[in-house]
Structure 1
Amino acid sequence: MKTRYNIFFLLWGLLLCGCDDFLDVKPKGKDIPEKIAHYDGLFNNTILTNLIFSKVNENGSITAQQSEIYFIYMTDELITDEASYANMGRSARAAYTYDPDIFLEEDYSAEWSAAYQQIYLYNVIANGVMDAEDGTTQKKKELLAEARVGRAFMHFYLTQFFCKPYQEATAATDPGVPVVTKANSGETSFSRGTVKDVYDFVTKELEEACPDLPLQTQHRQRVYRAAGYFMLGKVYMAMGEYGKALKALEIAYEGTQNSSIILELFDYNQEIYNWGYTGAPNTWGMSCTYPINLSEDNNELIYNKQVSILPITLFLYPPQVYVKPEYMALYSKNDHRAKFFSDKDYTGVTQWPYSKRVCRYMFTVCGDLPDLYLMLAECKARTGDETGARADLLTLREKRMPAAEAAIPASVNSKEKLIRFVLEERTREFMMSGMRWFDIRRLWNDPLFQDDKKNYTHKVGEQTYTLTEDRLTYRIPPKVMSFNSGWVDNN
Structure 2
Amino acid sequence: MKLSYIKSWLAAATLAVSFSACSGNFLDVEPRGKLIAAKVDDYDQLLNNLYLVYINSNAQVPMGDELVAVEPYFTQSGYRTQRLFQWESNIYQSEDNSPELQYPMHNIYQFNKIIEEVMDATEGTDAQKRAIRAEALAGRAWTNFLLINYYGKPYNEQTAATDPGFPIITKADVTQTDFKRASVKVVYDSIVSDLTRAIPDLPVSVVSRFRMSKAAAEGVLGKVYVFMGKFTEALPLLNAALTDMNSTGMSIGLYDLKTEMATGGVYAGTSAPNVAVNKENLLGKQATSSFSRTDNSLVLSPQAAALYKDSDLRRNFYTTTATSGAAYPIAGVLRKNRFSALQFGVLVPELYLLRAECNCRTNNLAGAKQDVETLRASRMPAADVAVPDNLAAQQLPLLQFILEERIREFAVMGYRWFDMRRLSVDPLFPGLSFTHTVYSSTGTPTVYTLKPERLVLRFAPKTLSLSPGLEDNP
TM over 0.5: yes
Q: Which one-letter code corresponds to 2:388 in the other structure? A: P
Higher relative contact order (CA 8 A, sep 6+): 2
Q: Where does residue 24 of structure 1 map in the other structure? A: 17
Q: Where does residue 425 of structure 1 map in the other structure? A: 405
Q: CA deviation at 1:349?
A: 5.2
Q: Where does residue 40 of structure 2 map in the other structure? A: 36
Q: CA deviation at 1:293?
A: 0.6
Paired residue for 1:319, among 286, 296, 319?
296
Q: Where does residue 465 of structure 1 map in the other structure? A: 448
Q: Is the 8 A contact 2:257 2:267 kept in 1?
A: no
Q: Where does residue 25 of structure 2 map in the other structure? A: none
Q: Is the 8 A contact 1:343 1:352 kept in 2?
A: no
Paired residue for 2:316, among 322, 335, 339?
339
Q: CA deviation at 1:214?
A: 0.3
Q: CA deviation at 1:23?
A: 4.3
Q: Where does residue 469 of structure 2 map in the other structure? A: 486
Taking a change above 3 Å as real, the CA distance of residues 105 and 460 of structure 1, as seen in their structure-2 partners, is farther
Q: CA deviation at 1:452?
A: 5.0
Taking a change above 3 Å as real, the CA distance of residues 452 and 341 of structure 1, as seen in their structure-2 partners, is farther
- The runs of 5 or more residues in structure 2 that have no matched partner are 21-27
Partner secondary structure for residue 458 of structure 1: strand
Q: Where does residue 61 of structure 1 map in the other structure? A: none
Paired residue for 2:201, among 195, 207, 212?
212
Q: Is the 8 A contact 2:178 2:468 kept in 1?
A: no
Q: CA deviation at 1:419?
A: 1.1
Partner secondary structure for residue 449 of structure 1: coil
Partner secondary structure for residue 390 of structure 2: coil
> What aligned pairs does 1:339-418 form with structure 2 within 5 A after superposition?
339-346=316-323, 348=325, 350=327, 353=330, 354-412=333-391, 413-418=393-398
Q: CA deviation at 1:276?
A: 7.9
Q: Where does residue 23 of structure 2 map in the other structure? A: none
Paired residue for 2:429, among 423, 434, 449?
449
- Aligned-residue identity in percent: 34
Partner secondary structure for residue 482 of structure 1: helix
TM-score when scaled to structure 1?
A: 0.88
> What aligned pairs does 1:42-441 form with structure 2 within 5 A after superposition?
42-52=46-56, 69-273=58-262, 274-275=264-265, 284=269, 288-294=270-276, 296=277, 298-309=278-289, 311-315=290-294, 319-346=296-323, 348=325, 350=327, 353=330, 354-412=333-391, 413-441=393-421
Partner secondary structure for residue 156 of structure 1: helix
Moved more, 157-166 or 24-33: 24-33
Query: What is the alpha-carbon distance in structure 1 between the residues aligned to residue 186 and residue 64 of structure 2?
Result: 28
Partner secondary structure for residue 287 of structure 2: strand
Query: What is the alpha-carbon distance in structure 2 between the residues aligned to residue 160 and residue 71 of structure 1?
Result: 10
Query: What is the alpha-carbon distance in structure 2 between the residues aligned to residue 303 and residue 277 of structure 1?
Result: 20
Query: What is the alpha-carbon distance in structure 2 between the residues aligned to residue 17 and residue 47 of structure 1?
Result: 14
Query: What is the alpha-carbon distance in structure 2 between the residues aligned to residue 81 and residue 450 of structure 1?
Result: 30
Q: Is the 8 A contact 2:318 2:334 kept in 1?
A: yes
Q: CA deviation at 1:346?
A: 4.4
Which runs of 4 or more aligned residues in structure 1 lie more than 6 Å from their structure 2 counterparts after TM superposition?
none
Q: Which one-letter code corresponds to 1:270 in the other structure? A: T
Query: What is the alpha-carbon distance in structure 1 between the residues aligned to residue 215 and residue 17 of structure 2?
Result: 31
Taking a change above 3 Å as real, the CA distance of residues 344 and 25 of structure 1, as seen in their structure-2 partners, is closer
Query: What is the alpha-carbon distance in structure 2 between the residues aligned to residue 396 and residue 44 of structure 1?
Result: 31
Q: CA deviation at 1:254?
A: 1.2
Partner secondary structure for residue 190 of structure 2: helix
Query: What is the alpha-carbon distance in structure 1 between the residues aligned to residue 390 and residue 438 of structure 2?
Result: 32
Q: Which one-letter code corresponds to 1:365 in the other structure? A: F
Q: Is the 8 A contact 2:252 2:282 kept in 1?
A: yes
Partner secondary structure for residue 292 of structure 1: coil
Query: What is the alpha-carbon distance in structure 1 between the residues aligned to residue 248 and residue 161 of structure 2?
Result: 39
Paired residue for 1:475, among 449, 452, 458?
458
Q: Deviations over 1:356-387 (max 9, x none)?
A: 10012223322011001000100111112111
Q: Is the 8 A contact 1:344 1:352 kept in 2?
A: no
Taking a change above 3 Å as real, the CA distance of residues 166 and 307 of structure 1, as seen in their structure-2 partners, is same
TM-score when scaled to structure 2?
A: 0.91
Q: Which one-letter code corresponds to 1:485 in the other structure? A: P
Q: Is the 8 A contact 1:162 1:474 kept in 2?
A: yes
Q: CA RMSD in A?
A: 2.1
Q: Is the 8 A contact 1:152 1:202 kept in 2?
A: yes
Q: Which one-letter code corresponds to 1:484 in the other structure? A: S
- The runs of 5 or more residues in structure 1 that have no matched partner are 53-67, 279-283
